Chains A and B, each alone.
Chain A
Amino acid sequence: MPVAVDAIAEELHSARRERSAVIPLTERLPELDLPAAYQVQAAGIRLRQHDGETIVGGKLGFTSRAMQQAMGVDQPNSGWLTDAMLVHDGRVKLDTLIHPKVEPEIAFLLDRPLAAPVTAADVQAATCAVAPCLEVVDSRFVDFRFAAQDNIADNSSAGALVLGNPVVLTPELDLTLVGCAVWVDGDLHATATGAAALEHPAAAVAWMANHAAQPLEAGHLVISGGLTGPVDLKPGRVVRADLDRIGSVELRAA
């Protein structure tokens, strides 16, 4: 039986707008496979575009081995970012989200399109700048309970994102070794390096360019995957990520 792609996309779209989490799709629709899940994701993005939102780039998920093992998959996934997800003043409004969590990431700003097949080196050549980023992930499924297909259908848990100032990506900057420290209300939460994202953040971006149904375009922003475990976002909480030689980014839950 074919999957009712549009109906599922509508359900997740409503779940997000009404901040009402739903039961994982895979618990109701065992026939939902990865291609169908990406079709649901694409239909969901069309709904957001119909609401007036514009695609500004892409995002990676499941980029750590720990997450892949927990999900029983051996590859990352991707989703799309829209302009409505960008938080410009660092104040993340909790009343627009269900159960948000925050992860530090390296964001890539592309000045050239990336058409498959591409390598990590191609990604770096097409990147004019990188920026520190805090991604607010939010699942439309109850208790963040999901299988890989659910997460893909749900646009890889995309919620919102806060960007720090971009810096030019120079060849001397080894993104695998760039250190990252995350502070929650001034206390250290965790540390990592860029290698936590699929061994190389640029390789994560390349994965999306090689697998996504739509190309990554010049001007797109791609966030390359969480580097540390997530921070639960609670009212008043301040989260800061410092990335060596890239800069800092901070958000406050409002």
Chain B
Amino acid sequence: MTTSPIPDLDATSRRPGVGRELWRRLSGRLARLLAGLHQTWRRSLQVRVVTITLVVSSLLVGGFAFLIADKITSILLDNAKTDVRSRLTSGADYAAKQFSLYSQPQEAQLQETIDGTVNYLAGGDPQQTSGVVVALTADGAGGMILPRSSPAVDFRPLLSPDLRAAVAGGNVANQIQTGRLTGDRATKYLVYGSPVPTRFGQVELYYFVPLTLQDTTASQARATVVATGVALVLLLGLLAALVTRLVVTPVRVAARTAQRLSAGLLDQRMAVNGEDDLALLAASFNQMATNLQRQILRLEEMSRLQRRFTSDVSHELRTPLTTVRMAADLIFAERDGFEPAVARSAELLQAELDRFEELLTDLLEISRFDAGFAVLDAEPTDVVPVVHRVVDRLSGLAERVGVEIELDVPTAPVIAEIDPRRVERVLRNLVGNAVEHGEGRPVRITLGIDDTAVAVTVRDHGVGLKPGEEKLVFNRFWRADPSRARQTGGTGLGLSISLEDARLHGGWLEAWGAPGQGAQFRLTLPARAGDRLITSPLRLVPADATLPFGATSTDGLLAIGPASDGVLVVGPAAPAPEQRAEVAS
């Protein structure tokens, strides 16, 4: 039975855990860094240009640096080789001459001659170390000739078997080897070998030439090239940054100016320096801004004049109207004394004067809005009495038309900071419209409230609105059926004024309608004046509305969106903030 060592589970399990944690942290940091870089990359033209310049110039300069350094090294090496080759050739020549005096390897003077020859070839004085080592070997002479070198060193380790084989085979060959011969440090040597023919067999002559100088020169050249390259790349990067900055700064200024311009600061201009392209851009920009400003001012002026005209016309009409009114009132009061046709005309005159007066009033109101003179007199007000007052006011009309007004109002007071006069006018308008277009069906008024807003919906079951009319209804003098005579009330400006009132409150006035299902209007106001509306306490689309295509749920919203096969589908929408017909401010 064997027992295997129980692995230290603790340590092994903890380590990967720590590792994973570290890895996660690291990768998180890396991801953040990358994201930051990415963002910087996307946002800054300068960064992009500089980076690309750096990368491209690095590649180019790196390539050139490599070529130059390689070339320098090979030239140095070639020079050294040529030099050594010529020395070797003359050396081998000399040695061959010296050895030609001997025909047997055992002649005693031969070894002396070998010594003398290597000393001579090494420069005579072995003490004078130029680093060059000259060596003679005679492996073919049966060991009778000892290998000699000058200075006397052990050169065997630097003599590779390959080189010896090549030279022994009668070739002049060379090789670079690193080793220690004369000094303490390992040095690169160019080992050059040549065969020396003699009468007693072949002797091999080797030169070991240190490449210290060449190595130093090559590395110096390399350092110079690298330094130059790095400096060049940095310079290029700097240059790119500078140039980009030169271009980008005015562009940024232009962008900022354009932003300010679009924000309405029409007198913003760019500074024009010099006469270059950027100056041209700035000048053109300024020109454009000036033109725009002029156009806008002109339009504004025109619009102001128009509004002024409307207001003036309204005012100017009021005075004669008052006279006419007084005359008409007189005639109207005396109508009983007239013959029926004239009396009828007096009545008509009276009615049309009422409408005229109303129209003038509305026009004045609208022109006040347009002129921006409308001021909100907001005060905390209970909305419930306002609703009741409106219903009371219109109850007469409702009875006359035969419309029942249903009220869904909380019993508790609903306090909001509103201008009660304007809210009342809005509600009156909405309810009046509903009663008018109710076609005898009941009109329902609902008051809703939440923390931030107060909402009132007015629902009728009249002809309803065709698709697209939800927005048109707020246009001035808009009528669903233009052919319909302006029989009943309505100046065509009521909803426009209501919309302006709602806007003045910072609230919404929206409409919903469907043919045959009636319409619903919703007024939403912030509970505190100046607050921004986010939602409405009440839904715009009434709960009893039937959706087209027989939608399933009455509760859920419908959404229209693209389906997978490219057709539009209508289906239940995801629970989301209220979908409204955007007429809000």
Q: Do A and B come from one complex?
A: no
Q: CB within 8 Å of B: which residues of A?
A: none
